[in-house]
Amino acid sequence: MAYIVDLRSDTVTKPTKAMKHAMVNSALGDDVYGEDPTVNALETKLAALLGKQAALFVPSGTMANLIAIMVHCNKRGSEAIVGDSCHIFKYEQGGAAHLGGVLLTTLDNKPDGTFELSDLERRIRGSDIHEPVTSMVAVENTHNYCGGKSLPLNWLDELSALCKKHLLPIHMDGARLFNACAHEQQPPSRVVRDCASVSVCFSKGLSAPVGSALVGDYHFIQQARRIRKMLGGGMRQAGVLAAAAIVALDEVVPLLELDHKRAFRLAKVIEGLFLKPFSVDVDNQHSNIVLVRIAASSQLTADKVLQRLAQVSLSETQGDCKTTDDEGVIVKGTAFNEKTLRFTLHREITDEDLWLAIMKITYVFKELGQ
C-alpha cells in the first residue's frame, strides 16, 4: 500500500462536513423560475461581495466564461482579445468560436499573466469594414498557466483606463479570484472594481463539489440568464449545490492563505535542493500553485518525473521516505508541458501531507537530478 498526496489540482477536494449538512438541509425551489431561495441567497451574497449588482449561478467556469463572451460579443463579426496562455484560449475547446461565433485574438502573456497594453491598443479593431469588431477584453486572475500569479492592481487600473477609452468591457476569469485577493490583501470588490463581468469558481480551491457564478450589472445578468438557458445550464432545485458554495465563501475562503503558505514552503524546499535540472521562481510565488521548470538541456520530461513520483521503490520504504505506518508515498502532479510540472496545494493537504510530499519530491528529484 502507498499513501497518496494528490497535488494535481485544487479541484480534487471533497465537500466539507458543513457543506454536506447545508446541502441536505437547503431550502429549494425551481431556479429557472427564479424560485430557489438558496440559489438566490448565494447570488445576492456574491454580488455584494464583489461590489456588483447581480450574479448568476451556473454549472461550470467554462460555461460562465462562454456566457460572458456571448453577452459582450453579441454582434456577428465580433472578436474578444485574450492572453495566449489564458484558460479561455487554452482549455475551453474553442467554445467562443464554435458555440458563440466569436473570434479569439491573442496577445502574448508575460510570466506574470499580464500583456503589453501598447500591444492591446494596436490590436483593437472595428473601424475598417474588412476587420472584425473588437468587443471585449478578457483577463485571468489568478493566472493558472503562469503559476497562480495574481495580476498587479496597478496594471489592472491601467488596463481599465485603456478599455474605457475604447469603450471595451473587461471580463475577468476569476476562477481563483479569492486566491488573488488573499495575495493582494485586498477585498474582492477592489480587485474586480473595473470589470464589467467576473466569473468565480466554487470547486477550485473552495471545496464545493460543483458550480461557478457570473457577476455583473442587472442588464448583463438578465442577458446571461437567457444564454445560460440556451446552453443547457438552467438547473432546477439547484440550491443543493448553491448551499455548498455559500459555505465555501464563509468557511473556506478565509483559509486560502494557509494553502499559499504551504505552497511557498514547498517551493523553497525545491529551490534549496540546488539541483540543476529543476528550478522554481520562489520570488514570484503568489498563491497555491507551484510550477517546477525542467532545464531544456536535461533529458528529463515532466511526464517522466511524474511517473517516478507515482512509484514506490524498495529503498524508499527502507529509508525515511514513508509514513509512520511504513507505507510508501506517492505524489500526484500535473504536466503543463514537456518541461513544466505543476503542484497545487488545497484545503485537504495538511502539514503532515505536505511533509510527506516534500520527502518524496526531495528523494525523487535528487535521484533524477544526479
Place of cell 495580476: 151
Average pLDDT over residues 259-281: 96
Please state the domain extents for the chain. 2-10+255-369, 17-252
Would you state the pLDDT for residue 369?
Answer: 84
State mean pLDDT over 302-312. Answer: 95
pLDDT band per the 50, 70, 90 thresholds, residue 194: very high
State residue 323's pLDDT score.
65
Instruction: Assign 197 to helix, strand or coil.
Output: strand
Report pLDDT for 117: 98
**Does the pLDDT at position 33 exceed 80?**
yes
Residue 185 confidence (pLDDT) above 90: yes
CATH number (3.30.70.1450, 3.90.1150.10, 2.60.210.10, 1.10.150.20) of 2-10+255-369 reads 3.90.1150.10
What was the pLDDT predicted at 72? 98
In 3-state terms, what secondary structure has residue 137? strand
Contact 214, 202 (CB under 8 A): no
Instruction: For the domain made up of 17-252, give the CATH fold.
Output: Aspartate Aminotransferase; domain 2 (3.40.640)
Q: Is the pTM of the predicted complex or chain greater than 0.85?
A: yes
Q: Which positions ≥6 away from 286 have C-beta within 8 Å?
A: 142, 147, 148, 149, 150, 179, 180, 183, 260
Q: What is the mean pLDDT of the chain?
A: 95
Mean pLDDT of 228-256: 97
Residue 322 pLDDT level (bands cut at 50, 70, 90): low
Spatial CA neighbour of 117 closest among 128, 108, 126: 108
Query: Do 118 and 141 meet the contact criterion of CB atoms below 8 Å apart?
Result: no
Question: Does residue 296 carry a pLDDT above 80?
Answer: yes
- Write down the pLDDT at residue 240: 97
To the nearest 10 degrees (0 to 180), the angle between helices 256-272 and 351-369 is 20
Select the highest-mean-pLDDT range: 91-95, 187-191, 308-312, 323-327.
Answer: 187-191
Task: Report the C-alpha gap between 213 and 204 in whole angstroms.
Answer: 12
Q: So what's the pLDDT on residue 1?
A: 75
pLDDT of 199 > 70? The answer is yes
Q: Do 39 and 242 meet the contact criterion of CB atoms below 8 Å apart?
A: yes
Name the one residue in this structure whose C-alpha cell is 492572453: 83
Average pLDDT over residues 323-348: 90
Fold match between domain 2-10+255-369 and domain 17-252: no
Q: Tell me, what's the pLDDT at 11?
A: 95
Find the range with the poorest average confidence among 52-56, 185-189, 317-321: 317-321
Across 268-289, average pLDDT: 95
